[in-house]
């Protein structure tokens, strides 16, 4: 590889046994300082870029205090990508994808968390809403929202990903030329706070023979999903708070289910009842949708654990490089099976790989930010990232992922994304 088109000083080939291709923190920070210095040189080189001596905002009184903070008006263009496949017939059915290419860190702002609704967002009065636990239990229970808030709570940071995330790359015959979030934005990460579901189920008393639950929402379609009892008693949460405040309406206010690492559809919003059952219920939302047809004529059902996955968010589709030199490649990685162990980055379409630096702390079933410095030589490049989780699962190539399913598979696309950098600095989505 040309010595300038690289992600590290070492050659692009994979190292021989006994050698590490990992960039240590000192090297990473040193190269980061080089990037910063290059950026500083660019800004001071033009006199017209210098700040005014006394800008107008220093010459007038600022806005008054208000009861609920708002973002700057200059950030208003940063919005979700709303898709309504049925148009005016069902305006509440569709998705709103997070603009992941606009984010830094790992936490998604609550107002930009992705949304999937099947028939709109219900306006639920928390004073009237109830959560019922029934079925194969010794003592059926009904909880008010006030009663739930009296229970001991726990918090955890984890992602939720819709099963249909990244499907623009499979439903279209040609790579869609849209921003990263419009393709991969059905994943978001928050700090969730609520009551462990196990605490409520144990209070109700599970009867012998029970091995599944059915969770049902209070939205107009009563969206529901079956979940194995083992997972319900493990780390599943009845969530009341997101990022420190009460849930947003589109995120399930006043109460939702949080099933860490599992298919987004199982994280039932506007939770109204949990029925303890023997065997799965096979509800409409787990039979007519969210199944995976395979080439042998069968279909996989209950594909719960989300695959190991990553995507480079900067630079990415729709952006443009500002001339040759040092840049930081950054993105996010996640796995439904646990922690991200490693993210590798390639600038030549997978011919050579280098380890990126993972932003600490790395949480289980959470989004992890990765970074690596890259010196672009001004020539065409193919940017890819490949995540590996603590269970040893490796993010597959597109060529390896596609044959598992029938054409235009909607769900569970965790294949490697490729961004093509052209010589003029423009960046596009390509299939590789």
For 399-411, the pLDDT digits (tens) are: 999 999 999 999 9
Residue 217: which of 136, 131, 344 has the closest Cα? 131
Which domain-ending residue is among 259, 274, 295?
A: 295
Q: Specify the pLDDT at position 50.
A: 79
Residue 250 and residue 139 in one domain: yes
Residue 340 and residue 397 in one domain: yes
- Is residue 18, in this structure, part of any structural domain at all? no
Q: Specify the pLDDT at position 18.
A: 37
Pairwise CA distance, residues 40 & 38, whole Å: 5
- Is residue 55, in this structure, part of any structural domain at all? no
DSSP 3-state of 29: helix
Give me the DSSP letters along 342-379. Answer: EEEEESBTTSS-EEPEEPSP--TTS-EEEEEEEEE-SS
Residue 227 and residue 284 in one domain: yes
- Rounded to 5 degrees, φ, ψ at 33 are -65, -35
For 191-228, the pLDDT digits (tens) are: 999 999 999 999 999 999 999 999 999 999 999 999 99
Q: For residue 236, give its domain range.
A: 115-295
The confidence band for 288, taking pLDDT boundaries of 50, 70 and 90, is: confident
- Is residue 349, in this structure, part of any structural domain at all? yes
Which domain-ending residue is among 228, 262, 295?
A: 295
- Is residue 179, in this structure, part of any structural domain at all? yes
- Is residue 44, in this structure, part of any structural domain at all? no
Residue 133 and residue 185 in one domain: yes
> What average pLDDT does range 138-165 have in this prediction?
98
CATH number for the domain spanning 367: value is: 2.60.40.650
- Is residue 339, in this structure, part of any structural domain at all? yes
- Is residue 88, in this structure, part of any structural domain at all? no
Residue 325 and residue 221 in one domain: no
Respond yes or no on whether the N-terminal peptide bond of residue 361 is cis (omega within 30° of 0): yes
Residue 228 and residue 313 in one domain: no
Residue 416 and residue 385 in one domain: yes
User: 199 burial class (0-12, 13-18, 19+ CB within 10 angstroms)?
Assistant: middle
- Is residue 397, in this structure, part of any structural domain at all? yes
Residue 309 and residue 382 in one domain: yes
Which domain-ending residue is among 295, 316, 344?
A: 295
- Rounded to 5 degrees, φ, ψ at 284 are -60, -30
- Rounded to 5 degrees, φ, ψ at 245 are -125, 170
CATH number for the domain spanning 225: value is: 3.90.420.10
Residue 163 and residue 124 in one domain: yes
The confidence band for 39, taking pLDDT boundaries of 50, 70 and 90, is: low
The confidence band for 51, taking pLDDT boundaries of 50, 70 and 90, is: confident
Q: Residue 13 above 60 pLDDT?
A: no
Pairwise CA distance, residues 171 & 405, whole Å: 13
Q: Strand pairing partners for 371?
A: 330, 357
Domain tally for the chain?
A: 2
Name the pairing type of β-strands 256-258 and 271-277: unpaired
DSSP 3-state of 295: coil
Residue 236: which of 271, 205, 207 has the closest Cα? 271
Residue 215 and residue 120 in one domain: yes
Lowest mean per-residue pLDDT among 7-11, 81-85, 288-292:
7-11
Contact between 389 and 340 under an 8 Å Cβ cutoff? The reply is yes
Residue 342 and residue 413 in one domain: yes
Q: Residue 7 above 70 pLDDT?
A: no
> What average pLDDT does range 169-182 have in this prediction?
97
The confidence band for 49, taking pLDDT boundaries of 50, 70 and 90, is: confident
Pairwise CA distance, residues 255 & 270, whole Å: 5
Residue 327 and residue 246 in one domain: no
Angle at 21 between CA 15 and CA 22, to 5 degrees: 170
The confidence band for 289, taking pLDDT boundaries of 50, 70 and 90, is: confident
């Amino acid at each position: 590889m040309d010595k300038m088109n690289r992600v590290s000083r070492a050659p692009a080939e994979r190292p021989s046994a006994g050698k590490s291709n990992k960039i240590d923190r000192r090297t990473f920070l040193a190269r980061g300082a080089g990037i910063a210095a290059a950026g500083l040189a660019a800004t001071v080189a033009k006199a017209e870029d210098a700040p005014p001596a006394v800008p107008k905002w220093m010459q007038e009184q600022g806005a008054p205090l208000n009861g609920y903070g708002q973002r700057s008006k200059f950030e208003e263009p940063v919005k979700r990508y709303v898709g309504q496949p049925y148009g005016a017939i069902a305006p509440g059915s569709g998705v709103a994808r997070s603009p992941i290419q606009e984010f830094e860190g790992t936490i998604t702002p609550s107002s930009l968390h992705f949304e999937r609704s099947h028939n709109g967002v219900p306006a639920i009065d928390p004073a009237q809403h109830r959560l019922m636990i029934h079925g194969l239990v010794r003592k059926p229970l009904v909880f008010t929202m006030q009663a739930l808030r009296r229970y001991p709570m726990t918090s955890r940071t984890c992602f939720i990903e819709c099963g249909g995330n990244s499907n623009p790359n499979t439903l279209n015959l040609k790579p869609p030329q849209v921003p990263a979030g419009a393709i991969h934005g059905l994943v978001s990460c928050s700090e969730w706070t609520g009551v462990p579901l196990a605490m409520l189920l144990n209070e109700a008393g599970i009867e012998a023979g029970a091995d599944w639950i059915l969770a049902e929402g209070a939205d107009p379609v009563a969206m529901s999903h079956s979940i194995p009892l083992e997972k319900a008693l493990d780390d599943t949460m009845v969530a009341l708070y997101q990022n420190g405040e009460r849930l947003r309406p589109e995120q399930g206010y006043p109460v939702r289910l949080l099933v860490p690492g599992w298919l987004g559809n199982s994280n039932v919003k506007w939770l109204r009842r949990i029925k303890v059952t023997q065997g799965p219920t096979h509800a409409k939302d787990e039979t007519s949708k969210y199944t995976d047809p395979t080439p042998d004529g069968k279909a996989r059902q209950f594909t719960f654990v989300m695959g190991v996955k990553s995507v480079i968010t900067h630079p990415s589709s729709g952006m443009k490089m500002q001339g040759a030199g040092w840049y930081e490649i950054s993105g996010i990685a996640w796995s439904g099976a646990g922690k991200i162990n490693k993210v590798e980055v390639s600038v030549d379409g997978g011919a050579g790989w280098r380890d990126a630096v993972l932003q600490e702390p790395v949480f289980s079933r959470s989004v992890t930010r990765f970074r690596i410095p890259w010196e672009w030589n001004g020539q065409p490049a193919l940017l890819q990232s490949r995540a590996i989780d603590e269970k040893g699962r490796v993010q597959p190539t597109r060529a390896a992922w596609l044959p598992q399913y029938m054409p235009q598979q909607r769900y569970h696309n965790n294949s490697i994304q490729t961004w093509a950098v052209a010589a003029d600095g423009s960046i596009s989505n390509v299939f590789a």
